[in-house]
Amino acid sequence: MKKIVIDTNILMDFLFKREGHEKAAELFEYCFNEKIKGFICAHEIATLYYFLSKSVKDKIKTKKTLSSIINRFEIIEINAEILDKALVSEINDYEDAIIEVSSEKIKAEYILTKNIKDFKKSITKAITPEEFLALLK
């Protein structure tokens, strides 16, 4: 089964119905139907909470949404080893470096992101949801 790590921007597209949310929804269906294994890094949950709580302003709804995400995707735990490796990663943005190092840890085939340029130096190949969905078909 293919393993993918999903970048925060894809989750945000879906949750906030931003441009590209349809492709994110299609991608998530593959994860929910166990055709692929979708992973999210633990720190992304905190980021999502921040943006959801600012937007929704309903803590109960925010928590239910996050609980659903936590229960539908595999969560990659962040530890000192990952944080240290991310500090010396070729990836300039630290949060993206954490995603890259985490993807290596679980031996993911792809990082799914809308910001391919942010992962140019990633060991794990970064592709868009559209590219990944085309590979599946």
CB 88 within 8 A of CB 73: no
Q: What HEC string does the chain produce?
A: CEEEEECHHHHHHHHCCCCCHHHHHHHHHHHHCCCEEEEEEHHHHHHHHHHHHHHHCCHHHHHHHHHHHHHHCEEECCCHHHHHHHHCCCCCCHHHHHHHHHHHHCCCCEEECCCHHHHCCCCCEEECHHHHHHHHC
% of the chain residues with pLDDT over 90: 90
Q: What are the boundaries of each domain within the chain?
A: 2-136
Pick the CATH number of 2-136 from 3.40.50.620, 3.40.50.2300, 3.40.50.1010, 2.60.120.20: 3.40.50.1010
User: Which residues share a beta bridge with 55?
Assistant: none
**72-112: pLDDT as tens digits:** 999 999 999 999 999 999 999 999 999 999 999 999 999 99
